[in-house]
C-alpha cells in the first residue's frame, strides 16, 4: 500500500529541475486506530498506485461529480465534506501514512461511503491516473509554503502545476486553494492570474471569503485566535 514516491522541483521559469525522492517510508508511528483502519478499510476505500487511468464511475459505482483533494493531512475536513455532500465523490491524496489511516478511521466511524484515498505523490497520480477533464473541483488546502526565498521554487503552485490541474478539470470546474501564509497567497494569485484558461471567481479579483464547502479546521481556528489570516483562492476553468 505505501510506496516511496517522487516529487519534482521547479526552477524560476517553471521548468522541472530534477526529480528527487522527497518522501520515504519514514512516515512516523501509526496509532492502533490508524493501523487497524489501514488494514481493514484499505480494500474498500484505498486505491493503489498502478499508473493506469481511473474509471471514476467504476470506482464509486455512480456518475456523480468527483472532487480531488491534494494533501488532506489527517483527513478531518475531507471526511466532513464527504459526509455533507453524498451527491459528490471525493478522492484524497496524501503521502503521510498516519494521516491516511486517520482519514480511513474517521470515514468508517462516520459511515462515509463516497470517499476514496491514495497514499502516493500527487504529481504522479495526476500524470498517470487522473483522466483529463474528469474532475469538478481540485482542492489544495494549506500546502507547505516553503517560507525561505531560496526554497520558493519548491512550492507546488507553479505555472506547470496550474496547467496540469486545468487539464484534469472539466470546463467550469474549480481549483480551490487556501493558505495561512500571506506571501504564498500572493504567489498563488500571481501564478493563477497568469495561467491560461482560468477565471478568478473573486468579486474583487483577488481572494474569496471561506466558502461553506471548506470546513474550518481546528488549526485554522487556533490561528485566527492568534490573529493569523487565511486566504482562499478559487479559479474556474474557462476553456
144 is in an annotated binding site: yes
Cell triple for residue 235? 479559479
> For 5, phi and psi rounded to 5 degrees?
-125, 160
Q: Is 219 annotated as a binding residue?
A: yes
41 labelled ligand-binding: no
Task: Give the residue numbers annotated as catalytic, written as ranges.
Answer: 144
186 carries a ligand binding annotation = no
Residue 94 labelled as part of a binding site: yes
Residue 164, marked binder: no
Q: Which residues are annotated as a binding site for substrate?
A: 148, 180, 217-220
Q: Residues annotated as binding site for S-adenosyl-L-methionine? A: 69, 94, 121, 144
Amino acid at each position: 500500500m505505501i510506496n516511496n514516491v517522487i516529487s519534482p522541483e521547479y526552477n524560476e521559469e517553471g521548468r522541472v529541475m530534477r526529480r528527487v525522492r522527497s518522501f520515504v517510508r519514514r512516515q512516523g508511528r501509526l496509532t492502533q486506530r490508524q493501523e487497524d483502519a489501514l488494514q481493514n478499510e484499505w480494500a474498500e476505500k484505498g486505491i493503489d498506485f498502478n499508473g493506469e487511468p481511473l474509471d471514476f464511475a467504476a470506482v464509486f459505482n455512480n456518475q456523480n461529480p468527483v472532487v480531488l483533494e491534494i494533501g488532506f493531512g489527517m483527513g478531518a475536513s475531507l471526511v466532513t465534506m464527504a459526509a455533507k455532500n453524498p451527491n459528490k465523490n471525493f478522492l484524497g491524496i496524501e503521502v503521510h501514512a498516519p494521516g491516511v489511516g486517520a482519514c480511513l478511521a474517521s470515514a468508517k466511524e462516520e459511515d462515509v461511503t463516497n470517499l476514496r484515498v491514495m497514499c502516493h505523490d500527487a504529481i504522479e497520480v495526476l500524470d498517470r491516473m487522473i483522466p483529463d477533464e474528469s474532475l469538478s473541483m481540485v482542492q489544495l488546502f494549506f500546502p507547505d509554503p516553503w517560507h525561505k526565498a531560496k526554497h520558493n521554487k519548491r512550492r507546488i503552485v507553479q505555472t506547470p502545476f496550474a496547467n496540469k490541474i486545468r487539464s484534469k478539470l472539466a470546463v467550469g470546474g474549480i481549483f480551490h486553494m487556501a493558505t495561512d501564509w500571506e506571501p504564498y497567497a500572493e504567489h498563488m494569485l500571481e501564478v493563477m492570474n497568469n495561467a491560461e484558461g482560468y477565471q478568478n471567481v473573486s468579486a474583487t479579483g483577488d481572494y474569496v471569503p471561506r466558502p461553506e464547502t471548506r470546513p474550518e479546521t481546528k488549526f485554522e481556528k487556533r490561528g485566527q485566535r492568534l490573529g493569523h489570516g487565511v486566504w482562499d483562492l478559487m479559479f474556474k476553468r474557462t476553456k
